[in-house]
Amino acid sequence: MPAHLPLLAAQPADAIVAWRRSAPVTRQDFLNQVRQLAARLPEVPEVVNLCQDRYGFSVSFLACVARGIRSLLPHSLAPESLAGVWSQAPQAPALWDTPPADLSHCPASVIAIHALLDLPALPLPDEEVMVPAEQVVARVFTSGSTGHPQSHDKQWGHLAASVQAASSRLWQQAGGPCSVIGTVSFRHMYGLESTVLLPLRGAGVLTDELPFFPADIAAALTRAPGRRLLVTTPFHLRKLLEAEQPAPQVDLLLSATAPLGRALAERAEAQLHAPLLEIYGATEMGQVATRRTTQGPRWQLLAGCELRQDERGGLTMHGTSQARPQPVHDVIEITGPDSFELIDRPGNLVNIVGKRTSLTYLNQLLNSLPGVQDGVFCLPPGRESNDDARLAAFVVAPELQAADVLNALRAHLDPVFLPRPLVLLDHLPHDVNGKITSAVVQTLVAQHLGGA
């Protein structure tokens, strides 16, 4: 790996690298804006980046990289999430383009960049900004979907290597570099790599919109120029397909943050007329493998990644995208020198009166039932070791009764896996990446099952 790496992919100065407010931004103007903002940043070791616009986030993130300032990236702008970040770095100033709704956890020091982003890009000497490969540029926090959020530092060289490997795989599938439209948070590792660094470091085109509702996703796709890559999640994808919203040509679909069922993948490819790839990774290791879900369960490692078995029988991921080998916590079966099959996360494997299944499988089945709009199985705390352990489920199905859902499940499941109880709700809370976090499930259990 080179000792220093540039901020952006090598392209002509007049190449379009981003779209902001439906207007194109050239590589030269984008880079000049980054350099102008970098010159105005204070002398601080780190900032908490709270930008809510992908363009503003990208410019400010790279400006911090250029100045040697580490960006702390909270998973969400919820007060609890922000408080957790500032508990680790109480002196870090907040950097934003739009003030968050709740400022109670923000420090007195604030860097507001919205006015700076609207200044015209000044003509500057045509010089590359070179960044040390070993520079720590980000501290990324896990979503908390399986427990308390954890933080992981990321070096510029490893992020660049990860994006290079991913762009080679994705652009080959799409037929070339794409405009990237994302429904996921750019502060999450998946969104940072796939909606910010992939277009900017992979010679694609960054877009500033963060659509959520099906009509907004279709509109954002319509406005995007050239080839189009939609970076999304199973939750957002399912809502888009259910809405049957007319959409323009999509050249590639990319999904992550939760396992994607084959039936949903087949429906997505049929309705949107584009191949769909899932990407496998974790906050601590980044993106390391892809698979085309409609063609089978096998994952193909990205270039530079390698799975190894240690002396205790555990698996570790090695690669140019990681500072050090990372333990793999999922249950995985190695199927070749650069391929594997994902069985499940250990916490998703359940044993009910001697019979085993997976919460992932149960959730995919539940969400595939006609009339079910959303749903999640769980094994409430305290039931894991009981001989009479039973699963529970929370379901959104406005036109159905609980008995209807149970009867539909009964056609596919051993009776021991039927949820007792099955609770019908008006909606299920998802985070910005379409996940139902561990904390949300615990709250639902406490509210509807008396905590056990």
**Structure tokens that stand for 421 in this block:** 């109880």
- The length of the chain is 452
In this structure, the answer to whether residues 330 and 369 fall within a common structural domain is no
Place of tokens 């919820």: 78
**Structure tokens that stand for 399 in this block:** 């036109």
Please give the residue range of the domain that contains residue 433: 348-448
In this structure, the answer to whether residues 191 and 131 fall within a common structural domain is yes
In this structure, the answer to whether residues 393 and 281 fall within a common structural domain is no
Q: By three-state DSSP, how is residue 87 classified? A: helix
In this structure, the answer to whether residues 155 and 242 fall within a common structural domain is yes
Instruction: State pLDDT tens for residues 348-395.
Output: 888 887 778 888 889 989 998 999 999 999 988 765 544 557 899 999
In this structure, the answer to whether residues 158 and 136 fall within a common structural domain is yes
**448: phi > 0 → left, psi -120 to 50 → alpha, else beta; which?**
alpha
**Structure tokens that stand for 436 in this block:** 């139902």
In this structure, the answer to whether residues 239 and 377 fall within a common structural domain is no
In this structure, the answer to whether residues 79 and 58 fall within a common structural domain is yes
Q: Pairing relation of β-strands 179-182 and 151-155?
A: unpaired
Q: What is the pLDDT of residue 141?
A: 85
**Structure tokens that stand for 182 in this block:** 């994302």
H-run or E-run covering 83: helix 79-88
Spell out the residues 6+ positions from residue 22 whose beta carbon is closer than 8 angstroms to its own. 223
For 3-61, the three-class secondary structure string (H helix, E strand, C coil) is CEEECCCCCCCCCEEEEECCEEEEHHHHHHHHHHHHHHCCCCCEEEECCCCHHHHHHHH
Q: Is 309 exposed, middle or buried (0-12, 13-18, 19+ CB in 10 A)?
A: exposed
Q: Which of 313, 341, 369 is the last residue of a domain?
A: 341
In this structure, the answer to whether residues 30 and 134 fall within a common structural domain is yes
Q: Which of 276, 310, 341 is the last residue of a domain?
A: 341
**Domain at 31, CATH number:** 3.40.50.12780
Residue 155 main-chain phi, psi, to 5 deg: -90, 150
- The angle that helices 262-272 and 359-368 make with each other, rounded to 10 degrees, is 40
d(CA 352, CA 354): 5
In this structure, the answer to whether residues 334 and 401 fall within a common structural domain is no
Low-confidence ranges of the chain (pLDDT < 50): 146-147, 385-386
Please give the tally of structural domains in the chain: 2
Residue 145 main-chain phi, psi, to 5 deg: -65, -25
In this structure, the answer to whether residues 321 and 388 fall within a common structural domain is no
Buried b (16+ CB within 10 A) or exposed e, 55-90: bbbbbbbbbbbbbebbbbbbbbbbeebbebbbeebe
Buried b (16+ CB within 10 A) or exposed e, 314-329: ebbbbbbbbeeebebe
Mean pLDDT score of the chain = 89
Asked if residue 117 lies in contact with residue 56, where contact means CB atoms within 8 angstroms, the answer is: yes
In this structure, the answer to whether residues 329 and 372 fall within a common structural domain is no
In this structure, the answer to whether residues 14 and 100 fall within a common structural domain is yes
Asked if residue 417 lies in contact with residue 406, where contact means CB atoms within 8 angstroms, the answer is: no
Cis peptide before 419 (omega within 30 of 0): no
d(CA 307, CA 317): 5
CA distances from 207 to 19, 55, 179, 181, 228 (A): 5, 7, 7, 6, 11
CA distances from 313 to 299, 322, 333 (A): 20, 21, 12
**Domain at 427, CATH number:** 3.30.300.30
Instruction: State pLDDT tens for residues 114-171.
Output: 777 777 767 777 778 999 999 999 999 876 554 456 789 999 999 999 999 999 999 9
Q: Which of 326, 341, 356 is the last residue of a domain?
A: 341
